[in-house]
Every structure is written in C-alpha cells, then in structure tokens.
Amino acid sequence: MAKAPRSLAGKIVAITGGARGIGRATAAALIAQGSRVAIGDIDAPLAERTADELGSATIGLALDVTDRASFAAFAAEVESRIGPLDVLINNAGIMPIGPFVAETDATADRIIDINLRGVIIGSKLALERFLPRGRGHLVNISSAAGKGGYPGGATYCATKHAVVGLSEAIRSEVRGAGIDVSIVMPVGVNTELYSGVSPPRGMKVAQPEDVADAIVEALRTGRTDVYVPRSVGPLIWINNLVPRFVGDLMMKLLKADQVLLKTDPVARGAYQRRTSEPPATLGAPAASAADPAASAAEPAAPTAEPAAPTAEPAAPMAEPAAPVNGAAGARVDAELETRAV
C-alpha cells in the first residue's frame, strides 16, 4: 500500500543558490507547504532581499559553496536561527558552454568547483547532522545531462554525471538510517543559465516552478529519481537499452546533439559577461543582482540552478558563451539553476 504523503509543515529547509531561479521558486513552493526556509547565495544582499520578499520568516545568508568554512558557517547559522536542519537542497551550479577543446582550464576548474565540489561539501555537512538524528532528506540538483553527453557541455555533463553517481552512492550508504536522497534531473529550465539555448525537438523548456513542484513532491513521497518533465525518464531508460547507433540516431532526430553548440549569443550575452567578470567579495552584490531571472543551480537567474556565481577572469570558451563563476578559491555560487540540459 502506498505511503501517505509526508507533511512539510514546520520542516527546516536550506537551499543553496537560492536567491533566484529554481532556488527561489523552490523556496516559495516550500513556504506554501508550511516549511521554514533559509536560502544561501554568493550574493548576500540579493539573498536577504529575496528572503524579505518571500516573507514567512525566511532568512537569506551569504554562502560560497566552494568554501567548506563558508558552507559550515551557513549550516550552523541556519540551525541556530530557525532550528535543526531537516532538508538540504544543493541547487547551486553553473553552465558555461562551447567546444570542449576551446574551454580554458580555469573554466573547467570553476565548473567542477561549484557543480561538484559544492555538492560534496554540502552533502557531508548535511549528513553530519542527519545521521545522529536518524532523519533528513538530501536533494541534489543534477540534470538530464547527468545521464547523457551533450556536445558543447562536456565538463558540465561530467559534473552532472558525478552528482548522480555521488548521490547514488550516498543513498546506498545511508539506506536504513532514516535518510532520503533525491536526484533532480531537469532537461532545460527557463533561467539565466539556459538563456539563448533551444530545447531538443519536441520538448518544452520547463519553468523554475515546474522543478520546484517536482522537488516538493519528492520531499513528500521520498522519490529518488526526479525528472523534469517526468517524460524524460522513460526516454533515458530506452536510450540505455538500445544499441549505441540507435541512440545516436535519436539524438540527431531530436537535435539534442546541437542544443549546447548552436546557441543565441545575444540572448546569452548578459549571462556570459557577468560570469566572466572578476569574482566579487562574498556578500557583495553580483553584477547582475538586479536580474530577477538568474539563479544558482540553474539560473533563472542556479541557481539551481543555480544568486549566480561571479567569476574569476577567464577566457571565454570559443562561443560567446564564456565561462561562468566559481574557481577553487573564487567566491562563487549560482541558481545558475542546475538546471539546464
């Protein structure tokens, strides 16, 4: 018999890259469920402003997901101000795109630092709290790109594959400990991270609210694999069963092999310019803080996500889709909302 959906009323939820995009939409959806929410973002003033706008005693705090001390301080402050953490949503992420051979090492470091290292740090800090209590829910925002490879986003895809593998392993380790792990895998989300990108043929671009609703459902039901839209799951399953040449043909027919290579440089320009600027000091407004669409895990703004990360100076990647935030040691985060392909 199916279990009754869990109530989220009173649950303490922390969201990284939460100032815009998927992070902000998820915060709003959880507040509507009666949860108490804390959003962390590299852009502290924007995080505070977003929290004020969302109301319901939501708090906005400075957070650099690439820095363990910053993440630990964020988690400690959340618990001291609103209570023991029940849910962590690792939403912060970035998506610089372009031909792999043209990608600078600094850009690759940034992507790995934010999209993977940030999730590793956050997951450890959450589990350190969940395990002694025998309860908790970890939500890691990956992408459909975590189940396949898309030309033009090689390093991005690598980090999203890693998030899936990381989450699968964590889930196996904590099975029976009262802790749930959910992996959220959107195809493309209408956030800044996905600006200038067209979805595969026959697919619609999801809205941040669609991802937020899917996350709420996962928290209420304990669902592990969360595809947005849900129809993506069967497509990925079928693709894994058929011979490789059939999968390649499907990619060509859907034009999925061109999604990250043929983008609109004008529509993507603001995202690329902002993310290629020198990193801001943690807590200082990001260059595009006024843009309500960005986010850290996948920007709608990721995020994410993803609140978008700032970047260290870095050479753009062959396409005007230059690198985005985050480098080891750089102060970055983002709703540059996971969330893209």
- What's the rounded mean pLDDT across residues 151-158? 94
> What is the structure's pLDDT at 317?
42
Q: Write out the E strands in 96-215.
A: 136-141, 179-186
Per-residue burial over 305-339, b if 16 or more Cβ lie within 10 Å, else e, is: bbbbbbbbebebbebbbbbbbbbeebbbbbbbbbb
Model confidence band, residue 302 (pLDDT cutoffs 50, 70, 90): very low
Q: Evaluate if residue 227 carries a pLDDT over 60.
A: yes
**Region 303-330 average pLDDT:** 40
Joined tokens for residue 259? 């999604």
Q: Residue 279 pLDDT more than 80?
A: no
| Mean pLDDT across 103-129 | 95
Q: What is the residue-averaged pLDDT of the chain?
A: 82
- Per-residue pLDDT at 129: 98
Alpha-carbon distance of 98 to 136, in angstroms, equals: 38
Active-site residue identified among 150, 156, 194, 271: 156
156 is catalytic: yes
Architecture of domain 12-275: 3-Layer(aba) Sandwich (3.40)
Cα(65)–Cα(285) distance, integer angstroms: 16
Query: Residue 293: its pLDDT value, please?
Result: 35
Summarize the confidence of residues 241-260 as an average pLDDT: 79
